[in-house]
Structure 1
Amino acid sequence: MNSTNALYIVATPIGNLGDISQRAIDTLNKADIIAAEDTRHSAKLLQHFGIDTRVLPYHDHSNEAQTAKWLQRLQQGENVALISDAGTPLISDPGYRLVRLAREQGIAVIPIPGACAVVAALSAAGLPSDRFSFEGFLPAKNTARFSRLDAVATDSRTLIFYESPHRIQDSITAMAEVFGPDRQVVMAREISKTYETFLSATFAELLQILDTDPNQVRGEMVVMVQGYVAPEKEGDTLSDDVEKMMAVLMDELPLKQAAAIGAKLSGEKKNRLYKWAVENKTER
Structure 2
Amino acid sequence: MNNSFANSGKLYLLPTTLGDNDPLDVLPASVQKQIERIDTFIVENEKTARKAIKKLVPTKSQPSLKLFVLNKHTDPAEIPTFLTPCKNGEDVGLLSEAGCPGVADPGADVVRIAHQENIKVVPMVGPSSILLAMMSSGMNGQSFAFNGYLPIDKAARKSEIRNLERLSLEKGQAQLFIETPYRNNKMLEDLVQNLHPATRVCIACDITLATEYIVTKPISEWAKTKVDLHKRPTIFILQKDF
Compute the TM-score of the two structures, normalised by the length of structure 2: 0.82
Query: Could you tell me which residue of structure 2 aligns to residue 260 of structure 1?
Result: none
Which string of whole-angstrom CA distances, capped at 9 and with x for unpartnered residues, describes residues 118-162 of structure 1? 111222222232221122222323243234334322222111122
For residues 88 and 105 of structure 1, the distance between their equivalents in structure 2, rounded to whole angstroms, comes to 22
Tell me, yes or no, if the aligned pair for 1:164 and 1:219 is still in contact at 8 Å. Answer: no
Greater RCO between the two (CA within 8 Å, min separation 6)? Answer: 2
Q: Give the number of aligned pairs.
A: 225
Structure 1 residues 56 and 149: alpha-carbon distance in aligned structure 2, compared to 1, 3 A threshold: same
Q: Which moved more, 1:95-104 or 1:68-77?
A: 68-77
The offset of 1:21, in angstroms, is 1.4
User: What is the SS of the residue equivalent to 2:182?
Assistant: coil
Structure 1 residues 41 and 149: alpha-carbon distance in aligned structure 2, compared to 1, 3 A threshold: same
User: What is the SS of the residue equivalent to 1:167?
Assistant: helix
For residues 200 and 61 of structure 1, the distance between their equivalents in structure 2, rounded to whole angstroms, comes to 37
Structure 1 residues 142 and 77: alpha-carbon distance in aligned structure 2, compared to 1, 3 A threshold: farther
For residues 66 and 147 of structure 1, the distance between their equivalents in structure 2, rounded to whole angstroms, comes to 37
- Mapping for residues 1-284 of structure 1, pairs under 5 Å: 4-15=8-19, 16=21, 17=23, 18-48=25-55, 49-50=57-58, 51-52=60-61, 54=65, 55-154=67-166, 155=168, 156-210=172-226, 213=227, 215-226=228-239, 228-230=240-242
For residues 83 and 69 of structure 2, the distance between their equivalents in structure 1, rounded to whole angstroms, comes to 14
Structure 1 residues 103 and 76: alpha-carbon distance in aligned structure 2, compared to 1, 3 A threshold: same
For residues 156 and 175 of structure 2, the distance between their equivalents in structure 1, rounded to whole angstroms, comes to 17
For residues 22 and 95 of structure 1, the distance between their equivalents in structure 2, rounded to whole angstroms, comes to 22
Q: Which moved more, 1:2-11 or 1:130-139?
A: 2-11
Larger Rg: 1
Structure 1 vs Structure 2 CA RMSD: 2.2
**Higher helix proportion:** 1
Tell me, yes or no, if the aligned pair for 1:121 and 1:222 is still in contact at 8 Å. Answer: yes
> Percent same amino acid at aligned positions?
22
Q: Which moved more, 1:173-182 or 1:189-198?
A: 173-182
For residues 95 and 57 of structure 1, the distance between their equivalents in structure 2, rounded to whole angstroms, comes to 10
For residues 208 and 31 of structure 1, the distance between their equivalents in structure 2, rounded to whole angstroms, comes to 50
Segments of structure 1 that go 5 or more residues without pairing to the other structure are 231-284
Which string of whole-angstrom CA distances, capped at 9 and with x for unpartnered residues, describes residues 184-203 of structure 1? 11111111112111233222
For residues 10 and 35 of structure 1, the distance between their equivalents in structure 2, rounded to whole angstroms, comes to 10
Query: Could you tell me which residue of structure 1 aligns to residue 3 of structure 2?
Result: none
For residues 181 and 61 of structure 1, the distance between their equivalents in structure 2, rounded to whole angstroms, comes to 41
For residues 139 and 83 of structure 1, the distance between their equivalents in structure 2, rounded to whole angstroms, comes to 28
Segments of structure 2 that go 5 or more residues without pairing to the other structure are 1-5
Q: What letter matches 1:43 in structure 2?
A: R
Which string of whole-angstrom CA distances, capped at 9 and with x for unpartnered residues, describes residues 77-126 of structure 1? 33110111110012211112211111111111111121101111222222
Structure 1 residues 147 and 74: alpha-carbon distance in aligned structure 2, compared to 1, 3 A threshold: farther
Query: Could you tell me which residue of structure 2 aligns to residue 273 of structure 1?
Result: none
Q: What letter matches 1:23 in structure 2?
A: S
Q: What letter matches 1:182 in structure 2?
A: A
Structure 1 residues 218 and 199: alpha-carbon distance in aligned structure 2, compared to 1, 3 A threshold: farther
Q: Which moved more, 1:156-165 or 1:101-110?
A: 156-165
